[in-house]
Amino acid sequence: MKNKRKSGLKWILAVWFCGISAMADAQVTESLKAIGMENIRCAQTPGVTTVSFENNVYRSTYTGVGKAIDACLESKTKGDLQLVVLENRIPRLCINLPDTLTEAYRNGDISLAQVYRQMEITVDTDPAMKALENAGREEAPAAWKMDLVIYPDLFLENNTLDELYTYAINLNPAVETALWKGGKMTAQVILPIATNLSGEMNKVRPGIIALSQEMRFRHNIFGKLTVGNFTDNRYGAQLELKYRNDNGRWELGSTVGSTGFSAITREDGWYMGRKQRINASLNASYYEPYFNLQFDLKAGRYIYGDYGIRGDCTRHFGEYAIGVYALCTDGEINGGFHFSIPLPGKKWSRKGFFRIKPANYFAWAYSMVADGEYVEKRMGKSYNTDPDENRSSNFYQPDYIRHFLIKEIQRELSK
């Protein structure tokens, strides 16, 4: 009789816990949906609430993370809180808030800035993703939704004697679609606006037309394969592998590509050469949190067979990134600067399956040497496989996110 009573009590407690868990899951999910987050999943265990989400609305990574933390803190979750930040459904970061921290904030004992200071941010998402394995269906899925993104493009080069600069100003609209987990399709066209160059540069031509597949393996190892038409008149395939340590300050990786020549010509239309050229590099990166400095080092073979090493130093000012670089390849030295700046529009809601928006950032680089043997032998040449490649977009660095979340709070309080 006693055993039956115990079994009945356990059953009642199990039903009660499931009901409470379902209510908490629904509340967290609805809070995240209300601020525009996508690919949301939530799992409740007796001691932890784990939720994953993707930010496709807010321009900056730290703004999106901050909005998600605020939404979860306003929900009545129980126990510890884990947030997994996704990009195209690939886990990037895990944010851990112990129950003592969330309760202290909800009781008014500490400020939001103190929550940001004390929370843990790590690149290691393996335990959190394991907790989400048995979560319910994904809410607000982003798969197969289309964005028409308008990218501005500026080309300047001082490499002629009869003109101060050669220049080209383009608008490069691109249709971008998230397909499945880690899969993305991009189709871009280049529309010339003004140029003093002839040939392909004053013609409507294809930009990046690519299919990419990104994967995340255990222990913070990432891989990405991209095939298609790239920038700098290249088409082919590129494979990237990289490892990030748990605090995200160190990153090691490699890149290898096989590409041919691609261009619009008067005789052949869209010409694609058969000859393939191999490029490869070993890459290292370190983020220095006190001054928000990012150091990048690459060594390897460039498109046209020259071997060299390149070092970059970039300073992050919130969403602005300004840097300098130096390059030595086959004995020739070059250098310059680069920057990425945010374009208008901090938030672009996506209510349906199609959205038109400007690019989040404008990125540009200046090369000091643009003539002589360096240009004749096409030294130091590389290409991009994504129109959104810059040092501000999708920058998931834990120290960077924490620093500028706190700085945003301080800025708001000082107004």
Cα–Cα distance, 231 to 168 (Å, whole number): 15
The tokens describing 105, both together, are 């904030």
Please give the CATH number for the structural domain made up of 146-400. Answer: 2.40.160
Helix (H, G, I), strand (E, B) or coil at 271: strand
The tokens describing 213, both together, are 């597949």
pLDDT (tens digit per residue) in 218-273 = 999 999 999 999 999 999 999 999 999 999 999 999 999 999 999 988 777 888 99
Cα–Cα distance, 379 to 367 (Å, whole number): 12
Of the candidates 123, 124, 104, 122, the one whose C-alpha atom is nearest the C-alpha of residue 113 is 104
pTM: 0.89
Of the candidates 41, 43, 93, 44, the one whose C-alpha atom is nearest the C-alpha of residue 66 is 93
Of the candidates 208, 206, 207, 211, the one whose C-alpha atom is nearest the C-alpha of residue 224 is 211
Helix (H, G, I), strand (E, B) or coil at 158: coil
Strands 80-87 and 90-97: antiparallel
Residue where the block lists tokens 């987990």: 181
Give Cβ neighbours of residue 23 (< 8 Å, ≥ 6 apart): none
What parts of the chain have a pLDDT lower than 50? 2, 4, 6, 8-21
In the chain, CATH 2.40.160 sits at 146-400
Of the candidates 413, 404, 410, 364, the one whose C-alpha atom is nearest the C-alpha of residue 384 is 364
The tokens describing 257, both together, are 């590509």
Give Cβ neighbours of residue 192 (< 8 Å, ≥ 6 apart): 168, 169, 170, 201, 202, 203, 204
Phi, psi of 403 (to 5 degrees): -60, -50
> What pLDDT does 156 receive?
83
Residue 118's Cα: distance from chain center in Å? 25
pLDDT (tens digit per residue) in 66-103 = 999 999 999 888 889 999 999 999 999 999 999 999 99
> What pLDDT does 163 receive?
55
Strands 146-157 and 166-178: antiparallel
> What pLDDT does 159 receive?
57
CB-CB contact of 97 with 117 (8 Å): no
Angle (nearest 5°) at CA 268 between 258 and 386: 40
